[in-house]
Amino acid sequence: MSDASLNSDLVRQSAATLATAIARGEVSSEQVTQAHLDRIAEVDGQVNAFLFVDPEASLARAREVDAQISSGIIASPLAGVPIALKDLLATRGVPTTCGSKILEGWIPPYNATIVERLESAGVVSLGKTNMDEFAMGSSTENSGYGPTHNPWDLERIPGGSGGGSAAAIASFEAPLAIGTDTGGSIRQPAAVTGTVGVKPTYGGVSRYGIVALASSLDQAGPCARSVMDTALLHSIIAGHDPRDSTSINAPVPDVIAAAKSGDVRGMRIGVIKQLQGEGFQSGVISQFNAALEILAGLGAEIVEVSCEHFQYALGAYYLILPSEASSNLARFDGMRFGIRVGDDGQHSVEQVMSATREAGFGAEVKRRIMLGTYALSSGYYDAYYGQAQKIRTLITRDFEAAFAQVDVLVSPTAPTTAFKLGAKVNDPLAMYLNDIATIPVNLAGNCAMSLPAGLAPEDGLPVGFQIIAPAMADDRLYKVGSALEAALVDKWGGLLIDEVPSL
Amino acid sequence: MHLGRLARLELTESEVDHYTEQLGQILGAIEAISDVAADDIPPTSHPIPVVNVYREDVALPGLDREDFAVGAPAWEDDRFLVPRILDEPA
Amino acid sequence: MTTTSAFESVIGEFDPIIGLETHIELGTNSKMFCSCSAEFGGDPNTHVCPVCLGLPGSMPVVNRAAVESTIRMGLALNCSIASWCRFARKNYFYPDMPKDYQISQYDEPLCFDGYLDVTVVTDDGPQIFRVEIERVHMEEDTGKLTHAGGAGRIHGATHSLVDYNRAGIPLIEVVTKPITGTGRYAPEVAKAYVAELRDLMRALGVSDVRMEEGSLRCDVNVSLSRDGEPWGTRTETKNVNSLRSVERAVRSEMLRQADQLRSGERIIQETRHFHEETGDTTSGRSKEQAEDYRYFPEPDLVPVAPSAEWIEQLRTTLPEVPSVRRVRLRDSWGISDFEMQSLVNAGALNLIESTINAGVSEQAARKWWTGEFSRIAKERDCELEDLSVTPADILEVEILIASGDLTDKIARTVFEGVLAGDGSVTAVIDARGLKVVSDDGALLAAIEQALAEQPDVAEKIKSGKIQAAGAIVGAVMKLTKGQADAAKVRALLFEQLGVTE
Ligand SMILES: [Mg+2]
Ligand SMILES: [Zn+2]
């Protein structure tokens, strides 16, 4: 086998397969890492999934893991496998920009908890991935460093905010990636790139070291090309962290066992009435319905469930998120880290802070900071932020009532397939509608997965199928997801991602 | 624009006009929520109902100064240098 | 208490309403929301981490000891303790605040609705004023700004330097309800309240309240009203950092507001600055364009919900409260309420008690602190506790007086020398040529005899109560007819008993 074909073979393998081969000594982590670095060098000029790669550092780390493995220490079921990290994770000694110019050149002096967990699991970082600035967006067009392109069609968006992570996986630049999901930023990119992404239960994965967008909504999670790979990554990053006060101090549900079982016989699956029909593309609905039929054929009972207050979720979300974000992003003031603009010795601290933020933040960030500042300001708090928090209660109650009847809920992940770059940049309201099906989960704090349901007949682009489970029942996502995936693999003769055009 | 000042954003005039219009649109679109929830609905600030999470009062070493001083926009005498606080010129 | 006639005429025309917001740094090992050392000082920016530097991605975790200290303080102030409350973010931009918001508490304080009784000596004798407590809550301190290029002041500075060692130190904030009905005693009530708060914190062991290090900071609210009319506009004098300053700030603000009102001008709601040198206040930022803090519940921290058992367990750890302790000491020393209150107001109580514990007689201890030392403190315009004389110094001098080596008058000269920084008691005596006899053999014999005569005292010392040594030292001085060096006797005594001081 020539080097080139060995490399192209390696990058198309699942993380589980790579980990097994590395553990058995059939291939080294260094070879696997090199293959992915080569792939990045080859295609990232077109995709722009990565903001930072340091091949020497990645290879050095891979060699360390190889040495460990040859001495008999296999740190985890993913030891030696490379990963791409969303640029929202603080990485010691490695630039972290959050897709923003305001952090250009900033090198964190500490690691996020997730990064430490991955390191001790022997997972090798390939670099940092592109994203909408501070995770504000659904298309990765709001990055301060240019948009990421969807490998299915380079003219189209890869979803957002974690478009870089999803595109890296879909273009075989990495087998695994970390995303963060505040309103759908893991699931919607997964849907439009034909990959798998999970937003774990709020508090299931530590937020320490993840640059906050909206603290009560943010949750980091795994991205991969198959349900099993997602489960393997999930089990490594999840679990209690004393440095995050909102981290859940309880055992992590056994997602790997659930992904292995893939049995939905006797399960009750609820279709959310409010998340279909108007506003949803016809091919999205048809592929969603086809997947429901498969699940019914596997022995699940499909029922329709109504969640009356979901229609208010978008409104509540676009008050809570900007409010928390306006406060979380206050610290980007040019005083302790990041860029500083306009400090000529004449201007005051207020003027320099304002000039720095004006120059460093992009339009969407400024728009949301203004909206949040307004929603929290005296006289408006009760009508906006206070009211939005009550809607949150009503949505949580809708979920509770629904889960009293069914084991999981399902819906299309996003109302449409990937749209053209630039199509919605000047229409924030149209852009916000992308997250209509993913937002309720973030408001209530429970968990959800997106996995490919097929290609929409009208445009041949991937459609995402969303599975939603109660808080701390993340295993149910994997049970249902792996059942559907196995049936689809049988039908197609492989994963949907195998259909992605070669770049 | 008062909001810009409160948020420390030095906006240009055209930005102010643009944002004012867009914020109006966005707020209009989310107006629907304003009379959905009755007074007796409690607000949710934290999605998962956990209380009383504390650390023990033990002092541990923090960061080395060199680790963050290099990232400071301006640094002098082992401290962060910031522009003058008051608005009137010196 | 001197009251100027100008002040008298203010009282004739107006009623003062005062209110105090007091911030006190807790004496925890680590900071409020991170594990950095909370120790005072340190090289700039050496007690910092991602959390207290506000680095992106960092998250706070609450210090359990800070919550417990606040609950104990609340219980000691007769407050109700919230069964469920949240932290809130107070949003405003300032370079000494790393996150550009302060984690504080807003409409859900941990402790609320309490009171503290303070006694002030009035023309009709000691009188109790009940100060109602609105709330006690937790928050974090800011970093320290040093202004450069403007003689160290914020005005005229070209830039400033920030040290974040203090950022995140736990603070307790105690807010009173408006205090009415204090009339001419408003300044004294304000001072007595802060002194009482300080003593309470010390008694609870939640803070040393080192005022010289700025660990207690007061914001003083004052307004005036005419009889039967609604309360006037109030001003808030910021950062008044000593007991005397609190009293002076209230007094000068009453005088200033009265002048203003009499000349038909209105009082502007504003913050004011207090000037130690003059005792005056000057206008600061006008509150009419007040900051909009955009408070909202801190999403990075979960609610504080102390159980009834936890609160009751903390209640059992409360020490004797200062007011009860005063009654006990008053009875034990056999003095009147009035005398006791004078001692308290002079800030002499703790000093007298520790002097007695060192071995000095009750009478002599009171005499020195309320007499000579109070006079010197007044002259120097400082607090008694700021004087550099220790209980051990007083014991040493007392023993020399008892032995006839010093007269009372010469003793005062000795203290003057000590307070002037001329050295220890012995050094000052040597400088004045006083010869103190010492003979180890004779002294050891006398110590043995004294120990034999007071075996119970000997036991106490051995068990670590070294303050009991005073009784033995005194007996030795008697036996040697005052010929011995008290410090030497003390040293030999400890050597004899195998105790280290
Ligand atoms: Mg405060
Ligand atoms: Zn710290």
Kindly provide the ipTM of the predicted complex, given to two decimals.
0.97
Shortest distance between the Cα of A413 and any Cα of chain B, in A, equals 21
What mean pLDDT is reported for chain C? 90
Q: How far is the CA of C45 from the centre of ligand 2 (A)?
A: 10
- Count the neighbouring beta carbons within 10 Å of the beta carbon of residue A494: 11
Shortest distance between the Cα of A131 and any Cα of chain C, in A, equals 16
Tell me the pLDDT band of B1, cut-offs 50, 70 and 90: low
Rounded mean pLDDT, A334-356: 96
- Give the pairing of strands A268-272 and A301-305: parallel
Residues contacting residue C225 through CB under 8 Å, at least 6 positions apart: C14, C15, C17, C231, C232
Whole-number percent of chain A with pLDDT over 70: 98
A221, two tokens = 């999670």
Q: Is A377's CB within 8 Å of C292's CB?
A: yes
Closest by Cα among A145, A144, A174, A148 to A162: A148
What's residue C469's pLDDT? Answer: 86
Q: Is A327's CB within 8 Å of C101's CB?
A: yes
Report the run of H or E that residue B82 belongs to, with start and end.
strand B79-83
Rounded mean pLDDT, C481-497: 78
Q: Distance of alpha carbon A144 from its chain centroid, rounded?
A: 19
Per-domain boundaries in chain C? 3-315, 346-432, 440-497
Residues contacting residue A120 through CB under 8 Å, at least 6 positions apart: A75
Class of domain C440-497: mainly alpha
What secondary structure letter does DSSP report for A500?
S
Any CB–CB contact under 8 A between A331 and chain C? yes
Rounded mean pLDDT, C330-352: 86
Residue C3 in this model has a pLDDT that exceeds 80: no
Q: Report whether A96 contacts A90 (CB < 8 A).
A: yes
What secondary structure letter does DSSP report for C371?
I
Residue A22 in this model has a pLDDT that exceeds 80: yes
Q: Mind listing the pLDDT tens digit for each residue in B31-77?
A: 888 888 888 999 999 999 999 999 999 999 999 999 999 999 999 99
What DSSP letter does each residue of A42-55 carry, written as one string? HHHHHH--EEEE-H
Q: Which ligand is nearest to the CA of A243?
A: 2
Residue C228 in this model has a pLDDT that exceeds 90: no
Q: How far is the CA of C274 from the centre of ligand 1 (A)?
A: 18
Q: How far is the CA of B58 from the centre of ligand 2 (A)?
A: 12
Q: Mind listing the pLDDT tens digit for each residue in A298-317?
A: 999 999 999 999 999 999 99
pTM: 0.88
Q: Report whether C300 contacts A215 (CB < 8 A).
A: yes
C-alpha A340/C-alpha C80 separation (Å) is 47
Tell me the pLDDT band of C479, cut-offs 50, 70 and 90: confident
Q: For A343, name the nearest residue in chain C, comparing CA atoms only.
A: C159
What's residue A2's pLDDT? Answer: 43
* Angle ∠(A412,A413,A417) on CA atoms, nearest 5: 90
Closest by Cα among C54, C110, C44, C52 to C81: C110
C-alpha A190/C-alpha C86 separation (Å) is 36
Residue C438 in this model has a pLDDT that exceeds 60: no
What's residue C316's pLDDT? Answer: 95
Q: Which ligand is nearest to the CA of C217?
A: 1
- Give the pairing of strands A82-86 and A176-180: parallel
What's residue C436's pLDDT? Answer: 52
Q: Which residues of B touch A444 (CB under 8 A)?
A: 47
Residues contacting residue A353 through CB under 8 Å, at least 6 positions apart: A333, A334, A335, B8, C93
C323 vs C66, higher pLDDT: C66
Q: Report whether A438 contacts A184 (CB < 8 A).
A: yes
Q: Which ligand is nearest to the CA of C99?
A: 2
What's residue C434's pLDDT? Answer: 57
Residues, beta carbon < 5 Å, ion ligand 2: C 34, 36, 49, 51-52
Shortest distance between the Cα of C64 and any Cα of chain A, in A, equals 13
Q: Mind listing the pLDDT tens digit for each residue in A52-76?
A: 999 999 999 999 999 999 999 999 9
Q: Which ligand is nearest to the CA of C30?
A: 2
Shortest distance between the Cα of B26 and any Cα of chain A, in A, equals 7
Touching subunits for chain C (3+ Cβ pairs under 8 A): A, B
C159-163: strand order across its sheet: B75-76, B79-83, C159-163, C144-148
Q: For B63, name the nearest residue in chain A, comparing CA atoms only.
A: A109
Tell me the pLDDT band of C421, cut-offs 50, 70 and 90: confident
What's residue C493's pLDDT? Answer: 86
Among 3.40.630.40, 3.40.50.2300, 3.90.1300.10, 3.90.180.10, name the CATH number for the domain at A3-309+396-494: 3.90.1300.10
C-alpha A59/C-alpha A77 separation (Å) is 20
Positive or negative, the Cα torsion across C460, C466, C472, C476?
A: positive
What's residue C433's pLDDT? Answer: 62
C-alpha A484/C-alpha A465 separation (Å) is 10
Residues contacting residue A96 through CB under 8 Å, at least 6 positions apart: A87, A88, A89, A90, A103, A106, A107, A108, A128, A211, C56
Report the run of H or E that residue A302 belongs to, with start and end.
strand A301-305
Residue A4 in this model has a pLDDT that exceeds 60: no
Q: How far is the CA of A272 from the centre of ligand 2 (A)?
A: 46
What secondary structure letter does DSSP report for A465?
E
Q: Is A378's CB within 8 Å of C54's CB?
A: no
Residue C437 in this model has a pLDDT that exceeds 70: no
Q: Report whether A381 contacts C296 (CB < 8 A).
A: yes
C contact set with A (CB within 8 A): 49-50, 53-62, 89, 91, 93, 95, 98-101, 158-160, 162, 292, 294-296, 299-302
Helix axis angle for C186-204 and C349-357, nearest 10°, is 40
Which range (A378-392, A402-416, C404-418) has the least confidence?
A: C404-418
> Across chain C, how many H-helices and E-strands are there?
17, 15
Query: For A327, what's the count of Cα atoms within 13 Å in the CB-facing half-sphere?
Result: 27
Report whether the peptide linkage leading into residue C323 is cis, meaning its omega lies within 30 degrees of zero: no
What's residue A7's pLDDT? Answer: 63
A348, two tokens = 């005051």
Q: Is B83's CB within 8 Å of C292's CB?
A: no
Q: Report whether A245 contacts C302 (CB < 8 A).
A: yes
Q: For C294, name the nearest residue in chain B, comparing CA atoms only.
A: B6
Rounded mean pLDDT, C404-413: 77
Residue A3 in this model has a pLDDT that exceeds 80: no
Residues of A annotated as catalytic (active site), given as ranges: 86, 161, 185
Terminus-to-terminus CA distance in chain A, angstroms? 22
- Give the pairing of strands C111-122 and C80-81: antiparallel
C-alpha A219/C-alpha A471 separation (Å) is 13
User: Which residues 18-37 of B are in CB contact (within 8 Å) with C?
Assistant: none
C-alpha A140/C-alpha A378 separation (Å) is 33
Q: How far is the CA of C173 from the centre of ligand 1 (A)?
A: 6
Q: Mind listing the pLDDT tens digit for each residue in A250-296?
A: 999 999 999 999 999 999 999 999 998 888 999 999 999 999 999 99
Residue C388 in this model has a pLDDT that exceeds 90: no
Q: Distance of alpha carbon C150 from its chain centroid, rounded?
A: 32
C-alpha C45/C-alpha C162 separation (Å) is 8
What's residue B30's pLDDT? Answer: 86
